[in-house]
Structure 1
Amino acid sequence: MSPTVLYAADLVAVLVLTFALYLPRHRRRDLAVAYLGVNVGVLAVAATLASSTVGAGLGLGLFGVLSIIRLRSAELSQTEVAYYFASLALGLIGGLAAAPVGIALMAVVVLVLAIADSPRLLSRYRQQTVVVDRAVADETALVAHLEQLLGGRVRRVSVQRLDLVNDTTWVDVRYDADPRGTVVPTARRADPVAATPRPDEADRWAVAQR
């Protein structure tokens, strides 16, 4: 089978990856251009390496260095990194693999990303970095406050910074969102963090309690 078939299959695969999967789901034009450019560039160089006396290992090592530099030049989410390496892998397969196996591998790469990045897969699982406007050392109170704030069930909490000077708590929280998108009513759940007075209000609060 002619290598041209593999090149055409690679172009079809990266177009599906970019315009049928990534853009409708994430809406970031600059990365769509990057995915297309990376794929076509890797395909061209891989095809050149496959037909020359230069070792393919050297070429792959150079691409590894370039990919690290590219990923360190801008902040990307883990999902965007997955698309980035998928477009790179498609180019390598198109330039180096045998035709029947290469086409099958391209289809697998696109299919796996289509399923793994589906909005219906684990749609309730969320992750956020939250800055709470109180310094909360009690993890139980912090979890209750976050569930009240986010309207979901907190699964894991990791305190990144407990700032006693500025009275803030930076926390990475993993939670299950309410499928209805509703927040738990305040009347049904007390918020221990909101009920706790700030340090600068402690004296007035104590006087009011007498």
Structure 2
Amino acid sequence: MYTLVMIAADLVAITILALGIYYLRHRRRDLVVAFVGVNVGVLAVAVVLAGTSVALGLGLGLFGVLSIIRLRSSEISQREVAYYFASLALGLIAGLSSTLSPVSLGLMALIIVAMFIADHPRLLSRSRQLTMTLDRAIGDESELVAQLERVLGGTVTQVSILQLDFVNDTTQVDVRYRIGAPAEVSSALAGARR
């Protein structure tokens, strides 16, 4: 009986996570299918393993194996990795809980709340990251930062030169920056056009 309640709790949790949070914010149907499929698969295996004496070790091993397989099969962003692990964790918590535990239900709720907050569009909404190629080779970091701030209309917080090509006169950089307020961006772009 308790197992059925935990299965229902897991299905509600993964629906909220995959459809209510992830899909509404990012609109990637393919990953919703992956998150739900992995969650339900892990839940099913964990329920079966919960009746054995090696359930915890086997469950954690399964978590690791599935993570490696999925993360190596295609390139996904760090945000999607977080959703992927949350889906796995929800399935393991629900599947390995042999009793109706307030702690298990609380942990499942904590995962959903943490993902809701951490991936909220308003949290760090002005921070951006780009990998880009500039049409000149710039080795001086202060000159590079000034050029990037002109082009991006924001404040560079970190820059790493990935490739400096003096033959083709290009610079490839990984840049993290904060966009300015809309008025600041407009004035910066207007100044760059002059």
The TM-score with structure 2 as length reference comes to 0.92
CA contact (8 A) 1:150 1:183 kept: no
SS in 1 for 2:186: coil
Structure 1 residue 58 corresponds to structure 2 residue 62: no
Contact (CA 8 Å) 1:149, 1:183: kept in 2 or not?
no
Q: Is the 8 A contact 2:13 2:109 kept in 1?
A: yes
Worse-superposed segment, 142-151 or 92-101:
92-101
Contact 2:159 2:176 in 1 (8 A): yes
CA–CA distance in structure 1, aligned partners of residues 123 and 59 of structure 2:
36
Distance across 2 between alignment mates of 1:188 and 1:31? 39
Identity across the alignment (%): 60
Distance 2:162 2:192 in 1: 29
Task: Tell me the equivalent position of 1:199.
Answer: none
Decide whether aligned partners of structure 1 residues 183 and 73 sit closer, same or farther in structure 2, where only a CA change above 3 A counts: farther
In structure 2, what is the Cα distance between the partners aligned to 1:187 and 1:83? 41
Instruction: Normalising by structure 1, report the TM-score.
Output: 0.85
Q: Is residue 147 of structure 2 the alignment partner of residue 145 of structure 1?
A: yes
Aligned partner letter, 1:58: L
Partner of 1:19: 19
Instruction: Report whether the alignment pairs 1:133 with 2:135.
Output: yes
Q: Does 1:156 align with 2:150?
A: no
C-alpha displacement at 1:155, in angstroms? 0.8
CA distance in 2, matches of 1:142, 1:50: 57
Q: 3-state SS of the aligned residue for 1:47? A: helix
Selected match of 1:179 from 165, 178, 181: 181
SS of aligned partner of 1:182 = helix
The alignment yields a C-alpha RMSD, in angstroms, of 1.8
Counterpart amino acid of 2:107?
L
Q: Which has the larger radius of gyration?
A: 1
How many corresponding residue pairs?
Answer: 190
Deviation track 1:134-184 (CA, whole Å, cap 9, x = no partner) reads: 111111111111111111011111101101122110101111112315360
